[in-house]
Copies of this chain bind each other. A is one copy, B any other.
Amino acid sequence: MIIQNTKAIMFDVYGTLFDVHSVIDECKKHFPEKGKSISEVWRKKQLEYSFLRGLMGNYRPFWSITKDALRFACKSENVELTGTIEEALLGSYLKLKPYGEAEGVLEKLKGHQLAVFSNGSEDMLHPLIEHYSLQTHFDYLISVNGIRQFKPQPSSYLYALEHLGVERHEVLFLSSNTWDIAGAKTFGFKVVWVNRSGDVMDEFGIQPDHIIGDLTGLLD
């Protein structure tokens, strides 16, 4: 059983518990022709900006970076982002759809120490989780904003660990993001890659401890 010998189970949020591309509908509403490409560039740049700000030592909360990435996506796709549309699109980020199996799996894990750990700042993470009343499942909602260092910086995983009161090898960390898997494994967590689309693992010379197709694999 994957969760054997585990004292805490910690979940990444964006892409792991919630589908970041569920913003496509709102994107398409305002930009029918370009909804998909805007959603893709938006996510791509959101990640890239967090990595680059981490490297430059020029931290900004993820909510601010999410805005910047949306603005870039609209400029590069050559559409006008009015104040009203920006508000609507950012608003959709606070109501991303949870993956269908997520709540049922959390329910079955009752009794374990559970946490989320995200690059998202509290002002976006809490409203999202509370919108679906999922907060009762978790002992901790941990944001890197408390230490102003993004995943996959080792200091960010250390910050999360300090909440849990266990050793790093006793933490089972789940993410769908390969860079997060690499960072968490390098730090010393046991890691489970949630590979929903049958992707190829990145070439870091690092392999996840387990690979599952969706969160139900955690119960096997």
Q: Is the CB of B52 within 8 A of A203?
A: no
A72-B182 Cα distance, complex, nearest whole Å: 15
Q: Does A80 contact B (CB under 8 A)?
A: no
Q: Is the CB of A182 within 8 A of B51?
A: no
Report the minimum CB–CB distance from A59 to chain B (whole Å): 12
Q: Does A68 contact B (CB under 8 A)?
A: yes
Q: Does A71 contact B (CB under 8 A)?
A: yes
Residues of B contacting A186 in the complex (Cβ-Cβ under 8 angstroms):
56, 58
Contact of A202 among B45, B153, B182, B200 (CB under 8 A): B45
Q: Is the CB of B183 within 8 A of A49?
A: no
Residues of B contacting A75 in the complex (Cβ-Cβ under 8 angstroms):
200
Q: Is the CB of B56 within 8 A of A51?
A: no
Interface residues of chain A: helix, strand, loop or mixed (majority): helix
A179-B186 Cα distance, complex, nearest whole Å: 25
Contact of A52 among B58, B68, B72, B152 (CB under 8 A): B152
Residues of B contacting A45 in the complex (Cβ-Cβ under 8 angstroms):
202-203
Of A49, A55, A71, A75, most buried by chain B (CB within 10 Å of CB) is A55
| Complex interface residues of chain A between 76 and 97 (CB less than 8 A to chain B) | 76
Given contacts A49-B204, A58-B204, A71-B203, 7 further A-B contacts (CB under 8 A): A51-B52, A52-B204, A53-B204, A55-B55, A57-B154, A68-B203, A72-B203
- Can you give 5 contacting A-B residue pairs, CB < 8 Å? A45-B203, A55-B153, A55-B183, A56-B154, A58-B204
